[in-house]
Amino acid sequence: MRNSTASQKKQSKGSSGNWHRADIVAALHKRGLTLASLSRSHGLAPRTLNNALERHYPRAERIIAGALDTTPETLWPERYALKNGPNSR
């Protein structure tokens, strides 16, 4: 089972899939942040950024990614692959 768990975690941060929500929250915690504190610091309601963990929310995704010194495309490549594909507008 350990190999299964390790491969799931590796895949969650891999180039082909979205980061798992728990990995995003853990990465924020390692920087001394929570989603609620990050939301409030940007003038948003405490639970607003949680929406980005479940669905496409560009502003929230940019805030979270910025706090992690990365891009939304890195955290959620599956969301952005569709936008950058051959049929994107």
Q: Which domains does the chain have, with CATH numbers?
A: 17-83 (1.10.260.40)
Q: pTM of the prediction?
A: 0.76
Taking phi first (over 0 means left), then psi (-120 to 50 degrees means alpha), and beta for anything else, what does residue 71 get? Answer: beta
At residue 81, the pLDDT reads: 86
Decide: 8 and 17 in contact? Cβ < 8 Å.
no
pLDDT score, position 27: 98
Mean pLDDT of the chain: 84
Per-residue pLDDT band at 12 (split at 50, 70, 90): very low
- Average pLDDT on 4-9 reads 40
